[in-house]
Amino acid sequence: MAAARGLGKGLDIMLPDKIGSANSEGKNKPEIGKDVVYVKIGKVEPNREQPRKNFDEDTLLELSESLKQYGILQPLLVQDKKDYYEIIAGERRWRAAKIAGLKEIPVIIKELTDQEMVEISLIENIQRENLNPIEEALAFKRLIDEFQLKQDELAERVSKSRTAVTNAMRLLKLDERVQQMVIDDLLTTGHARALLSITDNDKQYTLAQQIFDEKLSVRETEKLIKKLQKQKAEEPKVTEDHDLSVFFEDLEQKLKNIMGTKVFIHQKNKEKGKIEIEYYSTEELERIMELFQSIHQMEN
């Protein structure tokens, strides 16, 4: 049976020429990491820590039809767990093989550390573009948290730039409801990154729904967010100006009551301004002056 070579850069998998059975013993026992062996599909189980969680049913059905005709051309990578074989890479092929009704599937058995298993699963999915942005970000986070990798080390291992890794992980700061919209392909990563500037989770989710409902482009989304942020920045100033206006209106009324005529306060800023007192005759002006004099005498 012809077999495709390798799973891509970083996987370090070379498919062998020898094909045997996993039930072979003694000298015929397959060599770990080198031989392709056929195992019963019921003995193979997916890795629960596999980064990819979502599988498109339509594409699985298409692949299953291909497998019925040609079989699995590229063996799965598995690890021997004594009672079963755990998939390291190739879960999509395994799922399609089950749909196709295959009884046995080709595998290569490898002995890997937990970190190597996560890395290979992640790399395979990234190279095949099988992960949605949130799954990818969660896989990056796991490698950093569990295996104490730095972002630049992780970037090198998965053949991505450090900036790409950083930007991917920033998506995990989104509200979980918004993350699910990204997973469901209701929002693009461009929309999601724009929403990161909205720190209130409820507002972020409401805006995400608006983006989907109105079919806004990323550029339109960015403009809308800038507009909302500008309005928010101006809100305290509007409130403060309103409060000051009420304060000076109250002062005007008090001075009017004291003076017995119209008084206007013209505010230049918080600290400066001028007071305008109206009079309608010489006699009224003299009355106002007498009022000031009496106040002055009372103070002295």
Note if 235 is an active site residue. no
Q: What is the distance between the terminal CA atoms of the chain, rounded to a whole angstrom?
A: 113
Please give the Cα distance from 182 to 52 (Å, whole number).
14
Tell how strand 36-40 and strand 19-21 pair up: parallel
Please pick, among 45, 49, 91, 286, the residue that the annotation labels catalytic: 91
C-beta pairs of 33-37 under 8 Å, 24+ apart in sequence: 33/108, 33/109, 33/110, 33/111, 34/108, 35/108, 35/109, 36/3, 36/75, 36/106, 36/107, 36/108, 37/106, 37/107, 37/108, 37/109
Q: Where are the alpha helices (DSSP H) in the chain?
A: 57-70, 91-100, 114-127, 133-147, 151-157, 162-170, 176-183, 189-195, 201-213, 218-259, 282-299
Please give the Cα distance from 159 to 126 (Å, whole number).
10
Q: What positions carry a catalytic annotation?
A: 91
